[in-house]
Structure 1
């Protein structure tokens, strides 16, 4: 029978082959921390548009362990319902998960964490990533904040079972944890629409923030920001095509069902197919940060939850595309203008974009800070 120890070593070999174990200390952490302790005995897996609970007792111990040690994200909660409590498949959005190990390791790798550094983790989740940090840095150097009380309680139990005792906080991770400051690095295992000012205040000079920037279109970009002695954080996006769930205080508000309004109609200058591109999608979100993106049967729709504005596209007779816009904000104009700037730059990937953050202003820019830029919502 394949053992947990053998599977941990196999996972370490797999991650090493991907270049995700830059230092022996991280390999040691992967080999030492049993991931199965952090998944209990049930997870969700996708079943079409629903989430099906899968239990250890169904699969048997060996098949369960092989599943656990796959480099895969396992959803543990859907709309607040844990996998162990689900009586059958659920529709809804994942609200907690155990992130795939390669991405778990990518974050501290990108953060360039060194021996003895103090780390604030935003989003404890199951506690697996927290345990890896503890093994690498020592429990006393790790603080982790989790918003969901049930998830936080389970993570604390998992960490105790794994023999770790970091400082765990239940609360709003966007506030950080001032009592443990100053931190050398902040790592977020959730996405944010903007960088919370409290994260800047709780970093030492030269400290870093590693996070994914996302929004209500659910586009995403991974970035490491370094804080200078003037309180300004700067960095470039990595180009990784990865995403995390939005932090709950940054989640999209409810919106009504989409009913297309004719509004004003014109031919588009750019194809909505550009929004299928990872970076094109990100640019569209920068241009219309309070809009959601809905893919219709033959085009896309942008729905602005702040103003009630909408824009939707459909194929035009004779080729090309037509856009209909209604409401005070011309959403497609905003998106189209931003996409045109990106096209003029040669449609580079996200590595061409950077970000500057102060306490009062946050911008994402293309090329350099003096190039085209977009202010993030406050």
Structure 2
């Protein structure tokens, strides 16, 4: 048995033991796909103790490359939208823009997709092509279509898939638009997060079909959701939980804040709920449904620190600070952002702050909402 075969077997055993890999068909599919084939261009490793995070390349046959390929962890494969591991020496301090998702999450999502052997699947976000290959091993290449936004990332994925003799329909473009030509699909699965579920996905999924996606937002909290598409073109389904985090689809990334509004203006009152609640992942996830286009930042002022929500699209804002064990909020613009947050979180609190996996998300032409 070769080194990579032994490492793959150990990875399969770990995923089975953790419960990520639950059924024999997916176990067989995962066993058939060598992950290192999708990482031959290397990956970036975080430099321990660096702040902000610095990244250093790990290239094929370099120290620990093969072992890391079969570790159950996400591996960054692109920095700043264009930079791949072979492009640099030393360290780089920029934001990751593409990665190979940890295998246990890939397999957990494929299991959660509830796919049948004769189903046709659209994957949004090819990435390295690893999850695409596992899908093809399970269903056959002729039943899998995958869309990648980044042309260079798509090219490397195609090369890796072809080396393995795997030839799905690979498209390059905006995955939020889906694939109208080959629709309808039985299943759509997204390996990037979306702030709002695109209407095109609903239109391209047959009634009764499912969409598995991570819904995130500009307050930096996200969860995995499985939606069933209904005859009327709406969709609904459970939040699966687990604080699943993916990079947001690039067309839905937050806009630049630019020049901040005058935060000394606006109407001031005592806040019912303080901004400290935004430190909690689940609270931020729930709050995002109330202020879907708001961003959160912290500002250090002379007299006190402030938590600020800014909605670039509407020009609305809310600034909160703590004063004598009370929270004070000032708000300006056409929409009262913190009023919306307090109302939404208040109804969640009245319901007993249920866990997210007790929630249902509904998507209609008017938008999306969360319910208990």
TM-score for the superposition, normalised by structure 2:
0.91
Aligned partner of 1:375 in structure 2 is none
Higher mean C-alpha displacement, 94-103 vs 293-302: 293-302
Aligned partner of 2:42 in structure 1 is 42
Query: Given the alignment of the two structures, is residue 322 of structure 1 paired with residue 338 of structure 2, yes or no?
Result: no
Which residue, out of 116, 119, 122, partners 2:121? 119
| Secondary structure of the corresponding residue to residue 111 of structure 2 | helix
Aligned partner of 2:184 in structure 1 is 182
Taking the TM superposition and a 5 Å limit, the aligned residue runs for 1:1-378 are: 3-47=3-47, 48-56=51-59, 59-60=62-63, 63-80=64-81, 81-256=83-258, 261-263=263-265, 264-296=267-299, 298=305, 300-316=307-323, 318-358=324-364, 360-367=365-372
CA contact (8 A) 1:116 1:138 kept: no
Aligned residues: 363
What stretches of structure 1 of length at least 5 have no aligned partner?
368-378
Tell me, in whole angstroms, the C-alpha distance in 2 between the residues paired with 1:68 and 1:9. Answer: 13
Cα distance, 1:350 vs. partner?
A: 1.2
Give the CA RMSD over aligned residues: 2.0
| Secondary structure of the corresponding residue to residue 49 of structure 1 | coil
Tell me, in whole angstroms, the C-alpha distance in 2 between the residues paired with 1:120 and 1:57. Answer: 30
| Secondary structure of the corresponding residue to residue 181 of structure 2 | helix
Tell me, in whole angstroms, the C-alpha distance in 2 between the residues paired with 1:257 and 1:125. Answer: 34
CA contact (8 A) 1:210 1:224 kept: yes
CA contact (8 A) 1:288 1:335 kept: yes
Tell me, in whole angstroms, the C-alpha distance in 2 between the residues paired with 1:31 and 1:292. Answer: 42
Distance 1:230 1:331, change over 3 A: closer
What stretches of structure 2 of length at least 5 have no aligned partner?
none
CA deviation map 1:193-226 (0-9, x unaligned) = 2222221222222111000111222221211111
Higher mean C-alpha displacement, 45-54 vs 121-130: 45-54
CA contact (8 A) 1:260 1:312 kept: no
Tell me, in whole angstroms, the C-alpha distance in 2 between the residues paired with 1:130 and 1:211. Answer: 15
| Secondary structure of the corresponding residue to residue 318 of structure 2 | strand
Cα distance, 1:260 vs. partner?
A: 6.9
TM-score for the superposition, normalised by structure 1:
0.90
CA contact (8 A) 1:34 1:162 kept: no
Aligned partner of 1:371 in structure 2 is none
CA deviation map 1:328-371 (0-9, x unaligned) = 3322222122111111111112123212223x22331322xxxx
Higher mean C-alpha displacement, 95-104 vs 329-338: 329-338
Distance 1:30 1:356, change over 3 A: same
Cα distance, 1:46 vs. partner?
A: 2.8
CA deviation map 1:100-141 (0-9, x unaligned) = 111111212111011121110000001000011011111111
Tell me, in whole angstroms, the C-alpha distance in 1 between the residues paired with 2:90 and 2:259. Answer: 27
Tell me, in whole angstroms, the C-alpha distance in 2 between the residues paired with 1:2 and 1:162. Answer: 17
CA contact (8 A) 2:44 2:55 kept: yes
